[in-house]
Structure 1
Amino acid sequence: MSSSRTVSWVSSILYGAVLVSGVYYDLAHLGHDPGRFGPLPSLAGLLAGIASLFALDLIERRRHPVRTPPRTAVLLLCLRLLLFVTVAALDGSGLSRILLVLVPFTAYFAFGRKVSVASAVVCVGVVIAGYRLTVPRWYADPATISDLLMICVGLVLTVTMAAVAVGEREGRARLEQANIRLSAYAEQVAELSATAERVRVARDIHDGLGHHLTAISVLLEKAAAFGDRDPAVADQALADARASTRSALEDVRRSVRTLRTPESTRTLAESLADLVRNMDDPELAITLEVAGEETGHDAKARGTLYRAAQEALTNVRRHAHAGRVSVRLTFDDEQARLVVTDDGRGLGGRTEGFGLLGMRERVHLAGGHLALTNLDRPSTGTRLTITIPRPPPPTPTPSPPTITSACTVVAVPSRGDG
């Protein structure tokens, strides 16, 4: 922002005040003090000088509506100083010297504090030079010294006001930039939140629906295989497939429901027992062991452990070609620990898929640790170990101190008449 646009209203008020004062002084025939800035004031010259200042401000605003180039600003500042001195020389009232305060005020906005202070010193020098030319022994004249001191005080106040105005302008600019950055951060947070929600839904669909679809596929294959040999087994497999389908539908509904819905009141041990029971497969024997109390472990950790066991059993059924798998869940005062071990063919250098990646993300978000290793034994196999620390108990809120008062009652025996 250029200086003229910043102080246009200030300069216009000062121009008008000087013009009114000069016209009144001339029309009232108050005479002219020969010890001031020149010969008999010329009203026409004063009007021309004030009109030139107004025109200069108007031209700058039209030529440079956004910001005045530095070289042009220097030229305009010098031209204004020359016009101020000229108007002061033509104004017999002496009020026009107040226009000099516009020089450091304008310079502060255009060039900064150092140039503003330097221009204020130049203005003081100009005033002193005028006194030396027009007032004999000006340094001994109390009125002249008083005027000089008032001009110096005005310049100091002007520089201070300009500093405050510039600081406020820069503060507004910083606030606008901060608002822009805050809006950008808010958009990023919204985008990240949406992404996190999409990832969460994708994990839930993969871990829940993928597991049930795998179970349904196995059960349908079982029904097809036993359709002719054992119709009862085939019918049971179809019934289990229908039950798994209903469970899959419920999982989908739970995934798209908001988190306002209360969690199930079933324990993790009960949920894992149902999971193992629904994965009935004659070719895969599953054992489940649960030790310890899950009280004190939060719902997020329990949900993470359930989804991890679900994904691990699904992976064993799909890829491990195992005959036995054990699921052991242990709760203690420090952590919850899930260990899923199978006797299948091991990792075999395979890369992790989306299911294991989602499992790692869940465990990480719950503050836990996941390890997947090959078993070092002839039958190979894999071991999945997940540990999630138990959250510290909530700190009890101290109750306000109870203020008690005690008083001692002393019984004084009555005094007899004697």
Structure 2
Amino acid sequence: MPLFWRIFLLNAVVLTIAAVLLLLGPVTVSTPVLLTEAAILTAGLAAMLVANGVLLRITLAPLQRLTRAMTTTDLLRPGNRAAAGGRGEIAELITTFNTMLDRLEAERTASAAAALSAQEAERHRIAQELHDEIGQTLTAALLELKRVSGHAPPAVREELRQIQETTRTSLDEIRRIARRLRPGVLEELGLAKALKALASEFTSPLAAVRARINADLPVLSHDAELVVYRVAQESLTNAARHSGARRVDLTLGHTPAGVELRVRDDGCGIDGAAEGTGIQGMRERALLVGARLSLGPGPAGGTEMRLTVPVPTSHRSD
């Protein structure tokens, strides 16, 4: 039955009952109205309003649940659905809304996958150009400086040595940037050693990164390993840039839900700050492999990031 007719019939039933009680009951209305008659009519009106309100509340309750679902829906946190309660048009509306969310989440995942794939390809190209073009140019410049300094006067030789050190530092920085853009160690040595190398790279006098990698991890797909690596990289970058942390713990282990990456620091915490593009990118990457990402305060302060990557049953260790 359409919503209009259900509400109309509810009101009609309440008014009909009130009219029957007024016609068949001993209540009469005098002129002028007596206080007892006014009290009885007021009580009857109040009873009708309460009954009508209760019936409408029950009828429209599914719409309130749908409104809450619409308010809290976030495509980066999928799975939030309104319960398909009610009947007729209300149930059809809730079902249509849930179907729309399914389609939007699928389209968001597909578009994010295409964008991140293009991003990885562009990173690979830039890293290759940095290594092949700029890296080789600086290497040639270092060799030329070394050759020239061997024939230069002592006064000029010291200046050339300083230029060599500056050039060598620039070359090391370019190689470091190229490694971050294209994690070759991930393809060559695997996820565990890649994360240990990443932790060593981020360790500095201001932030000591301690990595603990379980040895009995199940096999992950290449896409899942890349997601874990990139999320760890972004988490360590945020800890180094924004948290002011002096210690960061990176843990990769096996849980009943799958493989879990945890990055915890002792910094200033997030304090309810809005999520930036880096965290949103982490959530988009997690969606690509069906992973669950949570971000919040750590048990002893600071910030804790958890990424849980599901593992097929056939790949889980006993």
State the structure with more CA Rg.
1
TM-score (norm 2): 0.46
Q: Which has the higher contact order (CA 8 A, sep 6+)?
A: 2
